[in-house]
Amino acid sequence: MKRNEFLMTAWLLIAGIGFSNVATAQATIKVGVLHSLSGTMAISETTLKDTVLMMIDAQNKKGGLLGKKLEPVVVDPASDWPLFAEKAAQLLEKDKVAVTFGCWTSVSRKSVLPVFEKDNGLLFYPVQYEGEESSKNVIYTGAAPNQQAIPAVDYLMKEVGVKRWVLEGTDYVYPRTTNKILEAYLLAKGVAAADISINYTPFGFSNWQSRVAAIKKFGSAGKKTAVVSTINGDANVPFYKELGNQKISAEDIPVVAFSVGEEELSGLDAKPLVGHLAAWNYFESIKTPANTAFINQWHTFIKNPKRTTNDPMEATYIGFNLWVKAVQKAQSTEVEKVLAALVGTETPNLTGGIAKVLPNHHITKPVYIGEVKADGQFNVVWKSAGTVPGDAWSDFLPGSKDIDADWVTLKCGNYNRVTKKCSGQNYK
Amino acid sequence: MKHLPSGGHKPLFMLLLALWVAVPVRAQSSSQSASDSSFLSTLGELREASYSDKAGIVERLSQSGHPSIRAVLVAFLEDRLYFRNDDQKIFIVKSAEGDPLTLIDPLSLKDAGSAPADSLTKIGTNNGLRRTLRTTVAHFALASPDAAVRLAAVQDMLRSLDDATVALLRDRMGVETNSRVKKEIATGLALAALDDSDTNARLNAIATLKSSVSQDVRNKLAVLIEKSPDGSFTEHDETVRRAATNAVETIDRWRTFYSDIETLFFGLSLGSVLVLIAIGLAITFGVMGVINMAHGELMMLGAYTTFAVQSAMPGHIGISILVAIPAAFIVSGLTGVLMERTIIRFLYGRPLETLLATFGVSLVLQQTVRSIFSALNRSVVTPEWMSGSLRLNDALAITYNRLYIVIFTIIVFSLILMVLKRTRIGLDIRAVSQNRAMAKAMGIRTEWVDAATFGLGSGIAGVAGVALSQLTNVGPNLGQSYIIDSFMVVVFGGVGNLWGSLIGGLSMGVVNELLEPFAGAVLAKIFVLVALILFIQIRPRGLFPQAGRAGEDK
């Protein structure tokens, strides 16, 4: 009997271990992180990966979600757009993640979109973008053009009295679409076509001398001129250097940028840029208790008190909190249930106001315009009254003004009010 | 002066200003405390005001005639005006950097101790407000003993002329001695006189302005010949209109002339960069026939050397660039020698293998830099003496960094020519490149010469990297964006000919810059490339082919 007893105990023990193994396997919720950790975009995207990890860490310290721990699954799509789709498929089909936080450039988002729609995944996209899209499976927590570009142009027109416009961009989809919207908007506001100059330069462009001279010339026609810059990536550094060298001060020709934030400025001498503008939905310099706590949390997590915070980080923070709340509301991590719970979910912004998920899968955001200070931070000179709801389809483009996105009543991201047809997603 | 933004209180302000200048401070002492307290309370309003209100407060302050007003406004303009959080008192700080900040009392302008930075709040400015402040401060700077300060002040004032400013300028004209300042003031007065009701005054003003090349002056004159929406001319007198048309045409002619010079300079500066990145290749590819795909990475090493040198001597950014030049030459040169000794020398006469091997080396070098310095771009500081521009006149300014690079290219090019033509090693290099077997027979150690040649070419690539670090981002991919350009220049100029690279590079730069305003940066580059391909069809050996049998053998 003794022997039997021993065997029995051993058997129970083994079974117990096995059982508890099953239990722990079930007790985690997998969270996909799809940001480039190498290649050209690594500079920007690594920060967002760390932000998600920080949020997961904090949530786990609070006891996890639905009684389970969150487990990050980090993959590296290496700034390679087709690889984004492969890695997304891996996250959804092999790792079976409940949610994914990821992508930066529009081209990477367009690359993963068919995968998320096919596998019915859930993606939180945290970067300002050109709009003209609404997917059932994506929540856009960055700004749409009406939450960044349009208010910035309005500010320059009304508060600064700008009459002549240079739209200067890098040659790819985001600047081209944004400039198309802005051009239509300016023309609708009565700006003459001769007072708008649009120009594109390649990625990584550095020979800015003639472009800057041309801007100077365009700006000396006796009307107040501003530059709206959608220049992306490291081409900004030589651009601003050349502006400084040719003595174009922000007092004469201000440059408002949509892709230059604290992170980008931390890499260069900001003194010649003082007074140039940026439009964002978040600035590190805005003092609120929530923002101070977030900055402290970031510095502790990353173990470097000099690291800056920026707008896409806040968008990631908002996206994560929205997802947590929706899961708690739905009491499930199943995509259909979470999506149903997500619309209408609210969470506070870091800079005040409430972010609310709208039926078009965009959120409400406050808009801020800041002037560059000598220390690379921003001095807020304008903010929107309250929050601005994100508009997926621009009202200023002839092709998209009749289109609505509504995932609650219409169940469609691309519904034409005139022809009354839902044409599905167009991820070309 | 109907269209000038003028306030009725401006003359009063002038009077007060004049009083403040004329009346000795002692005489005010009885009313001193009263004026102090009103000054302080106006200053205090800045704490809560919106940016547009702040402009009004600045105007009220400047009318107060308080002795410390200039210092306060200059501090405000330079972001050095703070208030203390616990007692709301306003202070000027000596410098906005550092912690604690040194405080200065805004009334007495004497030291007022110091306070930690986080106990103070800065009174912010925006672009519009800084503009207002600059003009206001300029009024005070007009009496400065330094002619340069006066000149800058007048130029600031010309940007926004109003009645008060014109009156100030007119007063200054009588006592001004410096001819440049006088000329600027005359321009300002003439600009104001364009609105005079007297026809002769307007004609005289146009005659004065005719010699200017400033765009502001041109725009102002162009207003005179414009038609208002109802079809009538804004300027009624025909002689004035004719004079104005004439003047605008003259100014336009000069401005076009200067803008052509500017384009030419842009072309030359881009061309110098092309020459600089191509000379090294002209030596390794042209003289030795080695297709070195790692040439770009050797430039990148030079750029990183600049960064390393700057990090090593943070207090001396100004001379760090000069130190970086020989350092980059040595780093890239030694890397080149190492490459030649370990890889390339086994592959002479096998161009395809050399190409692949050096491409491999380029990847290795990129990854090495990525591992050491991280994948992020490193910021190389531009020294003070290389930033800004040399203002030749109102229509033409040349940026210093480009100017220095043009000069630098000329120096490097002459040095290399000298080395090749006047030194023993140069003679050896030329001998080996012309006829290796014969040179060997003459007792030249060709192996050693090969290494030295490759080292020289690589070292020059490093030196080009120092120049590039001032123009573009220093990152692991720096070399890749320039390698194609440098091959293009060498092929265009004629393989093996330094002069060809010089002429080829400069002409490609000029053509590129001439096309860019019309075609845009992308198309201009495509045009240049297509033109180059066509050119190579006609002259396969480039602009200056090597003559004779030596050329044929290659």
pLDDT digits (tens, 9 = 90+) for B161-203: 777 788 888 888 888 888 888 888 888 888 888 887 788 888 8
For B401, the closest chain A residue by CA position comes to A245
Q: Over range A349-375, report the average pLDDT.
A: 93
Provide, as residue numbers in chain B, all residues whose Cβ is less than 8 Å from the Cβ of A205. 521
**pLDDT: is A184 or B69 the higher one?**
A184
**Each residue of B319-344: b (16+ CB within 10 Å) or e?**
ebbebbbbbbbebbbebbbebbeebb
Q: pLDDT at residue B96 above 80? A: no
Angle (nearest 5°) at CA B409 between B403 and B410: 95
Return the sign of the alpha-carbon dihedral for residues A337, A343, A345, A348: positive
CB-nearest to B377 from A211, A214, A234 is A234
Give the pairing type, strands B101-104 and B90-93. antiparallel
CA-based nearest residue to B348, from B405, B305, B398, B291: B291
On whether residue A205 sits in a domain, the answer given is: yes
**What is the 8-class DSSP label of residue B346?**
G
Return the sign of the alpha-carbon dihedral for residues B109, B111, B117, B120: negative
CB-nearest to B127 from A210, A254, A374 is A254
Inspect the interface and report whether the beta carbons of B379 and A244 lie closer than 8 Å: no
The pLDDT of residue B13 is 52
- Say which CATH number the domain at A209 has: 3.40.50.2300
**pLDDT: is B310 or B68 the higher one?**
B310
Residue B387 contacts A, CB cutoff 8 Å: yes
**How close B42 gets to chain A, by Cα (Å)?**
22
d(CA B160, CA B141): 16
Residue type, position A285, single letter: S
Taking each helix axis as running N to C, give the angle between helix B147-159 and helix B163-175, from 0 to 180 degrees, rounded to the nearest 10: 150
Which residue is associated with the tokens 């992170």? A263
CA-based nearest residue to B184, from B194, B196, B176: B176
Q: pLDDT at residue A112 above 60? A: yes
> Which of A10-24, A290-304, B168-182 has the weakest average pLDDT?
A10-24
The pLDDT of residue B115 is 85
The pLDDT of residue A6 is 52
d(CA B464, CA B279): 9
For residue B82, the SS3 value is strand
The pLDDT of residue A11 is 55
Residue B374 contacts A, CB cutoff 8 Å: no
On whether residue A202 sits in a domain, the answer given is: yes
Provide, as residue numbers in chain B, all residues whose Cβ is less than 8 Å from the Cβ of A245. 387-389, 399-401
Number of domains within chain A: 1
Highest mean pLDDT out of B79-83, B176-180, B301-305: B301-305
**Which two three-digit tokens encode residue B532?**
């180059």
Inspect the interface and report whether the beta carbons of B388 and A245 lie closer than 8 Å: yes
- A58-68 pLDDT, tens digit per residue, is 999 999 999 99
Between residues 515 and 544 of chain B, which touch chain A (CB distance below 8 Å)? 516-517, 520-522
On whether residue A136 sits in a domain, the answer given is: no
The pLDDT of residue A7 is 52
A216: domain range? Answer: 149-257
On whether residue A127 sits in a domain, the answer given is: no
Provide, as residue numbers in chain B, all residues whose Cβ is less than 8 Å from the Cβ of A78. none
**pLDDT: is B58 or A229 the higher one?**
A229
Highest mean pLDDT out of B103-117, B298-312, B477-491: B298-312
Q: How is chain A split among helix, strand and coil, in percent rounded to 5?
A: 40, 20, 40
Residue B457, judged by CB atoms within 10 A of its CB (0-12, 13-18, 19+), counts as: buried
DSSP string, A5-42: HHHHHHHHHHHHHHHHHHHHHHTEEEEEEE--SSSTTH
Q: How many residues are there in chain B?
A: 554
Q: Over range A315-323, report the average pLDDT.
A: 97
- B228-271 pLDDT, tens digit per residue, is 777 777 777 788 888 888 888 999 999 999 999 999 999 999 99
- B27-54 pLDDT, tens digit per residue, is 445 566 777 888 888 888 888 888 888 8
Alpha helices in A189-247 (DSSP H): 209-218, 236-245
Residue B51 contacts A, CB cutoff 8 Å: yes
Q: Over range B506-533, report the average pLDDT.
A: 88
The pLDDT of residue A8 is 53
**Which two three-digit tokens encode residue B129?**
């407000």
**pLDDT: is B457 or A271 the higher one?**
B457
**What is the 8-class DSSP label of residue A122?**
-
Q: pLDDT at residue B17 above 70? A: no
Inspect the interface and report whether the beta carbons of B127 and A272 lie closer than 8 Å: no
d(CA A123, CA A88): 10
pTM of the predicted protein model = 0.83
Residue B78 contacts A, CB cutoff 8 Å: no
Residue B435 contacts A, CB cutoff 8 Å: no
Q: Over range A82-106, report the average pLDDT.
A: 95
The pLDDT of residue B119 is 84
Percent of chain B scoring above 70 in pLDDT? 92
Q: Over range A168-177, report the average pLDDT.
A: 90
Inspect the interface and report whether the beta carbons of B401 and A205 lie closer than 8 Å: no
Q: What are phi and psi of B431, to 5 degrees?
A: -65, -45
Q: pLDDT at residue B20 above 70? A: no
The pLDDT of residue A259 is 87
The pLDDT of residue B144 is 78
What is the residue extent of each domain of chain B?
Answer: 10-132, 168-236, 259-478
Q: pLDDT at residue A18 above 70? A: no
- Count of alpha carbons within 13 angstroms of residue B184, beta-carbon side: 25
The pLDDT of residue B228 is 72
